[in-house]
Amino acid sequence: MTAAKRLGKQTVKLQNPPSMVATASIVGKKEGQGPLKEYFDQILDDGLWGESSWEKAESKILRETVSKAITKANKALGDINYIFAGDLLSQCIGSSFGIRELEIPFFGVYGACSTMAESLSLAAMCVDGGFADYVVAATSSHFCSAERQFRFPLEYGGQRPPTAQWTVTGSGAVVLSNQGSGPYITHITTGKIVDLGIKDANNMGAAMAPAAADTIYAHFEDTGFIPDDYDLIITGDLAEIGKNITEDILQKNGCNVSRQFTDCGLKIFDNKKQDTHAGGSGCGCSASVLAGYLYHELTQGSLNQILFISTGALLSTTSAQQGESIPGIAHAVTIQNTLG
């Protein structure tokens, strides 16, 4: 028996596309000084937000972002059937500790910086399958907690190479429902792990780019869409290095996305003015850009159909210490204002 909703090898077309009925985003001070500052619901004055550690602050950011999204959807916590969420901290403690007070059934998800598209994919499938009326997809990251876990203590003051990216302090949350007037999640292309042997943890863009290109190419192969079907094709968070590599790989395979293609890590910061080197990164990068800027542009009609691809580097401190390379992953979601 053939799965009725499958297209090709990696894509599904949802028969009952869920609607994005509300979003929310909370970001840090640096993000609030960037080009997208007007699109975020809240900008924090400091990275601790009254907490005793950066990790606790990240959990608070996620919890408050999820709560704000649910409130904006005119729903109570008890109306939400499931939350799909994840983050970069060990065993996803940013999400699990942040959500524990909400008493909502929870699926913890880990896809590194691809987690927002992964959470959104699973949440959309859950609603499309008739398993839920309202589901939240969310994720978060924090510059200080990520630096402490993956690289060096901030006090060390190590020199950052030009390929390095700046982990976004922020969170984005989306409420999906089987009711509503859009924007709708219509297609999901689930990525494969791609590893070309890159080991430099300060060059995440190069590590993730092959996976991004692989997923984007698979999406077009499976669906029959072409780049011109989209107003915007946006990855997150390849930043400048990874975005250029992805575009080159796709071009060599006969797929020209140059007109529509950009990256959340390039949108959220002004790299030159804010000294973020290659651009933004972190789970909260694509999440806050989607929940803030992209959702606004979709609901205002400035964008009508986009391909949203979150990209992740699947490394850990353990894998790095063992000399492992950095596997990449990317998941793509089609979001459109009208169905037809």
Looking at 133, 162, 177, the residue that finishes a domain is 177
For residue 5, which of 191, 220, 186, 221 has the smallest C-alpha distance? 186
Region for 8 from its dihedrals, namely left if φ exceeds 0, alpha if ψ lies in -120 to 50, beta otherwise: left
Spatial separation of the C-alpha atoms in residues 286 and 114, rounded to whole Å: 8
pLDDT reading at 135 higher than 80? yes
Per-residue pLDDT tens over the stretch 242-285: 999 999 999 999 999 999 999 999 999 998 899 898 888 899 99
Domain boundary at 152, 177, 202, which? 177
Residue scoring higher pLDDT (26 or 165) = 26
Answer whether residue 171 is part of any domain: yes
Are 173 and 192 found together in one domain?
Answer: no
Residue 10 lies in a domain: no
Determine the pLDDT at residue 114: 96
pTM: 0.95
Domain count, the chain: 2
For the chain, the helix, strand and coil percentages under 3-state DSSP, each to the nearest 5: 40, 25, 40
pLDDT greater than 80 at residue 2: no
Does residue 50 share a domain with residue 123? yes
| Confidence check: pLDDT of 95 > 70 | yes
Read off the CATH number of the domain in which 201 is found.
Answer: 3.40.47.40
Domain that includes residue 54, residue range: 15-177
- State the burial class of residue 72 (Cβ atoms within 10 Å of its Cβ: 0-12, 13-18, 19+): middle
